[in-house]
Amino acid sequence: MPFIFLGTYRPLLKCFDVSDLSLKFSRGLDADVVKMAVLSEDYSKFVLLEEERYVEVHVAYGRYFRMRIPKFGHDMAFCHEVSDLYIVGNGSEIFRLNLEEGKFLAPLMTSSSSLTCCEFNRDHHLFICGTNDGRIEAWDHRDADRCAILDCAIRFQTNNR
């Protein structure tokens, strides 16, 4: 069972295999990593979201591709059904990168000024993202439409009088 560790000063990535008690690989990185998403079950393919507005795609032999994203990213999530990588960060856009075609799709627009986190639900496959103003937004990736908004900040303020 492999474990991947990320270091900050002199950004470094190391993968250890617990069953063999060995180091599988070690890679130096150009910037600190904000988030990591694994694309395959055996950790041979993964994506790194870096602090300097870069997204790196890694494969078994090393870095495959490095691209710059339009705004600083806070979080990312991978949709296995359509091979889209969703990236949220500073700004109201949810950037969608199709890894099969290797190009950005039209971004999803939110009403928030910044997005902080995101994840795909495994049961109903909705894309959920959290905003900096206390809202949770649910999106359906099949038609790129927002399904629901839950305003958690207002509910917290009314219950905490």
Q: How far apart are CA 132 and CA 90, in angstroms?
A: 10
Query: What integer is the mean pLDDT of 110-131?
Result: 92
In this structure, the answer to whether residues 57 and 79 fall within a common structural domain is no
In this structure, the answer to whether residues 92 and 157 fall within a common structural domain is yes
The tokens describing 122, both together, are: 């495994």
Query: What integer is the mean pLDDT of 42-52?
Result: 91
Query: What integer is the mean pLDDT of 50-60?
Result: 93
For all residues of the chain together, what is the average pLDDT?
90
Confidence of residue 160 (pLDDT cuts 50, 70, 90): low
In this structure, the answer to whether residues 61 and 78 fall within a common structural domain is no
Q: How far apart are CA 64 and CA 122, in angstroms?
A: 28
Query: What integer is the mean pLDDT of 63-88?
Result: 94
In this structure, the answer to whether residues 148 and 85 fall within a common structural domain is yes
5 phi, psi to nearest 5 deg: -120, 145
Confidence of residue 157 (pLDDT cuts 50, 70, 90): low
Among the candidates 68, 89, 121, a domain finishes at 68
The 8-class DSSP code of residue 153 comes to H
How many domains is the chain partitioned into structurally?
A: 2
- Please give the residue range of the domain that contains residue 30: 1-68
> If we measure between CA atoms, which residue out of 90, 100, 3 comes closest to residue 42?
3
In this structure, the answer to whether residues 45 and 101 fall within a common structural domain is no
The 8-class DSSP code of residue 161 comes to -
Question: For position 45, which CATH number holds?
Answer: 2.40.10.480
Q: How far apart are CA 68 and CA 54, in angstroms?
A: 4
In this structure, the answer to whether residues 85 and 111 fall within a common structural domain is yes
